[in-house]
Chains A and B, each alone.
Chain A
Amino acid sequence: MTQDVEMKEQQPAPSNSVTSTSPSTFQHLKDIAALIETGAYTREARRIVKAIRWTIQLRKKLNASLLSSFLNFALVPGSEVHSRLSLYIPKEDEHDMEVDIATSATQAPTKHSVPELEIYCYLLILIFLIDEKRYNEAKACSSASIARVKNLNRRTTDVLASRLYFYYSLSYELTGDLAEIRGTLLALHRTATLRHDELGQETLLNLLLRNYLHYNLYDQAEKLRSKAPRFEAHSNQQFCRYLFYLGKIRTIQLEYTDAKESLLQAARKAPVSALGFRILCNKWAVIVRLLLGEIPERTVFMQKGMEKALRPYFELTNAVRIGDLELFKTVAEKFSSTFSSDRTNNLIVRLRHNVIRTGLRNISISYSRISLADIAKKLRLDSANPVADAESIVSKAIRDGAIDATLDHANGWMISKETGDIYSTNEPQIAFNSRIAFCLNMHNEAVRALRFPPNSHKEKESAEKRRERQQQEQELAKHIAEEDDDEF
């Protein structure tokens, strides 16, 4: 279950931050701080998103001295936040970075107390603590940060806050205390909804679903999910997670068709680097497809980096495909530890019935008439009264449409019906229609997903025009000012 936690932001293509190799990591952090500040002043959340993306790139390079010098740079030394955060940083090897500390002291005499920067410092320290595996301190730090974020009502902090929520939940999950924070998360979700903080809602809803599913509380999860407001997804990562959780809930509640759709979409949309998440999606998708009576293609199991993890599921598929109950039982026993750690054991128990169905289908295709006793033997039904069992199993399969046959009770045999020419029905047309609908839908969604950077159309206007416009604006401003004066 913990694999998908680490679904990081996709590394952006080498941008200016990477090409400039000379500046130190500290310089990067300062750049980020500047970016956040401009973002805060201009109220552009886009800049802050960029800042976080850069931070993730720096994640591996963070160390204690670097962080303490950054804290000195970003926060007022001696202030409450500064002293609180400094507590989390171990005091060692301070000499290494002396140069940087010295420069920062001279460079930044003007102290800025933008709340965004403060939140960012919390985030940085939190990531650092989690990477250092100091989970209890991470818990304390994240709780403090959440308390601080609650009191801020600024749209520009939303992006930072949503990351904080994520690490908050992660730190509690790592220590196994997820149940504790459920109340807080629910309260935060409510606040985010009232403030129209959609990214926060998205993140918190996912964290809550994760929280519930961690304890197998599918009922509560589904109730929350169906009542929570839905809107266009803001973050691809969050949307993938949402789809995955949705797929899981639906699988448990036997809505296999919908579950398959969500799980496959989650696997497809997830970034390539999130391998663990994609493996998990694929595992569930394989089971759901088997439960639906489909046999997943071999290529599903041959995806890069997944062969080993999907091996148990491959053998399971094989057993279902052949319709051999004995083989199915052996596979289920052989990999039972894997299945129980994936928490798919109960689903695999459900599969037994599909194995029988496939076996029966094979029999009905190969024989035009077969006695029930032979069916029982072929299916290896080991019960007190195999013939009666076989009869009722076959009759249920006929009713569910799995096989096309009739039973003759007096003679005790099953007669398969000739399969008619499918092209004389409307079936092909229906299948064709559903494919066309899928393609058209795909196109429409692609069009909708296109993103246009804000103000891009304005940059095209010529210098002359811009001057003209600015002049007009100035005049307008003057007018307004004059009008204001008049009023006094």
Chain B
Amino acid sequence: MDPKIREVSQIFERFKAAFVRKDFDTCNNLLSQLKVMLTAFKSLPPLFEETPNAVHELTLARDIYEHAVVLSVKIEDQDAFERDFFQLKPYYTDARGRIPPSPQEYPILGLNLLRLLVQNRIAEFHTELELLSPSALENPCIKHAVELEQSFMEGAYNRVLSARQTVPHETYVYFMDLLAKTVRDEIAGCSEKAYDSLSVNDAQKMLLFSSEKELHEYIKEEHPEWEIKNGFVFFQRAKESIPQKEIPSLQLINQTLSYARELERIV
């Protein structure tokens, strides 16, 4: 075996051992070493040179990046997740014909979809979705994320929350927890518009708080304009639009002048 590959494999083994021990600091250090060493392999993206060890190197590198992505979830670092995922992606797309597919592919792609959903990057979510084949959409990991997005768009937040119990993969829990926070903000935003008032009890239930104290804290921090009186939460209804009595004169003058100018050009 090529000495370079052997060296990388050895460090990777140490990385995996540390990973099982949940010694994430060591993992991080080893990972940076690994990433630097991977740059020496010419068969990896973007060069894709046809070296004799290409298949081995590609598989090894893909394995390393897959672990890197999972590690970033464990240490709850979303930026690292994004970076590692983008480094991993070419192995799934461009190297598809060169190496056998990875069993981790769909869980990781689903994880990425979930991340985009949590960060409310819906446009990118759909862009990624277009890249998946119809058979991939049937995969439970992907399907989970797709259904979440639908429920989220519809406003069926209960379904989003209950989906936490049915996560297809243990790494998903982290993002599901984040999603619960996003959902709470959404519900708060919707309730504000939809209700005149809610009893404190109902509000607490609806916003998924376990105690009244938490609700009070949340309102103080996020929505200071809400008013709590006689066991009811009153939402300020200032946003109501009263039929406008005033004529927007300046705007009208501007428009009329621009019509005159355009007409002059035509005549």
Taking CB atoms and an 8 Å cut-off, the chain B residues in 111-164 that contact chain A are 122-124, 126-127, 129-131, 134, 146, 150, 153-159, 162
* Residue of A whose beta carbon sits closest to that of B156: A389
Number of interface residues of B (CB under 8 A): 41
Given A352-B150, A388-B158, residue A425 in contact with residue B126 (CB < 8 A): no
B101: interface (CB < 8 Å): no
* Contact between chains at A219 and B154 (CB < 8 Å): no
* Residue of B whose beta carbon sits closest to that of A255: B123
* Contact between chains at B156 and A392 (CB < 8 Å): yes
* Residue of A whose beta carbon sits closest to that of B245: A424
* Residue of B whose beta carbon sits closest to that of A347: B126
Taking CB atoms and an 8 Å cut-off, the chain A residues in 390-448 that contact chain B are 392-399, 405-410, 420, 424-426, 429, 433, 436, 440, 443-444
Given A218-B130, A340-B134, A426-B248, residue A353 in contact with residue B150 (CB < 8 A): yes
A462: interface (CB < 8 Å): no
Taking CB atoms and an 8 Å cut-off, the chain B residues in 253-267 that contact chain A are 255, 259, 262, 265-266
CB distance from B130 to the nearest CB of A (A): 4
* Contact between chains at A410 and B199 (CB < 8 Å): yes
* Contact between chains at B126 and A217 (CB < 8 Å): no
Taking CB atoms and an 8 Å cut-off, the chain B residues in 41-85 that contact chain A are none
* Contact between chains at A395 and B150 (CB < 8 Å): no
Could you tell me the distance between the alpha carbons of A314 and B123 in the complex, rounded to whole angstroms? 27
* Contact between chains at A393 and B156 (CB < 8 Å): yes
A106: interface (CB < 8 Å): no
* Contact between chains at B194 and A407 (CB < 8 Å): yes
Q: Which residues of B contact A255 (CB under 8 A)?
A: 123
B227: interface (CB < 8 Å): no
CB distance from A458 to the nearest CB of B (A): 28
B198: interface (CB < 8 Å): yes
**Most chain-B CB neighbours within 10 Å: which of A388, A394, A396, A399?**
A396
| B interface secondary structure, majority | helix
Could you tell me the distance between the alpha carbons of A381 and B154 in the complex, rounded to whole angstroms? 11
Could you tell me the distance between the alpha carbons of A384 and B162 in the complex, rounded to whole angstroms? 10
* Contact between chains at B123 and A253 (CB < 8 Å): yes
Given A426-B248, A436-B259, residue A395 in contact with residue B194 (CB < 8 A): yes
* Contact between chains at A254 and B191 (CB < 8 Å): no
A27: interface (CB < 8 Å): no
* Contact between chains at A420 and B243 (CB < 8 Å): yes
Chain A interface size, under 10 / 10 to 19 / 20 to 34 / 35 or more: 35 or more
CB distance from A342 to the nearest CB of B (A): 13
Could you tell me the distance between the alpha carbons of A362 and B266 in the complex, rounded to whole angstroms? 45
CB distance from A356 to the nearest CB of B (A): 6
* Contact between chains at A392 and B155 (CB < 8 Å): yes
A104: interface (CB < 8 Å): no
Given A398-B190, A399-B189, A433-B255, residue A393 in contact with residue B126 (CB < 8 A): no
**Most chain-B CB neighbours within 10 Å: which of A216, A253, A395?**
A395
* Contact between chains at B158 and A398 (CB < 8 Å): no
Q: Which residues of A contact B169 (CB under 8 A)?
A: none
Q: Mark B184-219, 1 if CB is under 8 A from A, else 0.
A: 001101111111101100100000000000000000
B130 touches which one: A216, A384, A409, A444 (CB < 8 A)? A216
Q: Which residues of A contact B189 (CB under 8 A)?
A: 399
B244: interface (CB < 8 Å): yes
Given A392-B190, A398-B193, residue A346 in contact with residue B126 (CB < 8 A): yes
* Residue of A whose beta carbon sits closest to that of B126: A252
Q: Which residues of A contact B162 (CB under 8 A)?
A: 384
Q: Which residues of B contact A420 (CB under 8 A)?
A: 243
* Contact between chains at A424 and B194 (CB < 8 Å): no
Q: Mark B27-51, 1 if CB is under 8 A from A, else 0.
A: 0000000000000000000000000
CB distance from B223 to the nearest CB of A (A): 14
* Contact between chains at B131 and A253 (CB < 8 Å): no
A345 touches which one: B124, B134, B159, B265 (CB < 8 A)? B134
Could you tell me the distance between the alpha carbons of A346 and B248 in the complex, rounded to whole angstroms? 44
Q: Which residues of A contact B150 (CB under 8 A)?
A: 349, 352-353
A425 touches which one: B146, B156, B198, B243 (CB < 8 A)? B243
* Contact between chains at A352 and B154 (CB < 8 Å): yes
* Contact between chains at A392 and B127 (CB < 8 Å): no
Q: Which residues of A contact B122 (CB under 8 A)?
A: 254
Q: Which residues of B contact A79 (CB under 8 A)?
A: none
Q: Which residues of A contact B134 (CB under 8 A)?
A: 340, 345
* Contact between chains at B190 and A440 (CB < 8 Å): no
A175: interface (CB < 8 Å): no
* Contact between chains at B190 and A399 (CB < 8 Å): yes
Q: Which residues of A contact B255 (CB under 8 A)?
A: 433
A346 touches which one: B130, B156, B159 (CB < 8 A)? B130
CB distance from A479 to the nearest CB of B (A): 44
CB distance from A414 to the nearest CB of B (A): 9
* Contact between chains at A406 and B126 (CB < 8 Å): no
* Residue of B whose beta carbon sits closest to that of A407: B194
Taking CB atoms and an 8 Å cut-off, the chain A residues in 364-401 that contact chain B are 381, 383-385, 388-389, 392-399
Q: Which residues of A contact B190 (CB under 8 A)?
A: 392, 395-396, 398-399
- Counting from the closest, the 3 A-B pairs by CB-CB distance are A396-B155, A395-B194, A395-B190
Starting from the known contacts A349-B146, A395-B195, A396-B186, 6 additional A-B residue pairs (CB-CB under 8 Å) come to A216-B131, A394-B155, A395-B187, A409-B199, A409-B202, A436-B259
Q: Which residues of B come within 8 Å of A, CB atoms?
A: 122-124, 126-127, 129-131, 134, 146, 150, 153-159, 162, 186-187, 189-196, 198-199, 202, 243-244, 248, 252, 255, 259, 262, 265-266
Q: Which residues of A come within 8 Å of B, CB atoms?
A: 216-219, 252-255, 340, 345-346, 349-350, 352-353, 356, 381, 383-385, 388-389, 392-399, 405-410, 420, 424-426, 429, 433, 436, 440, 443-444
What are 19 contact pairs spanning A and B, CB under 8 A?
Answer: A217-B131, A254-B122, A254-B126, A340-B134, A349-B150, A350-B126, A383-B158, A385-B158, A393-B155, A395-B193, A396-B154, A396-B155, A399-B192, A407-B194, A407-B195, A409-B202, A420-B243, A433-B255, A436-B259
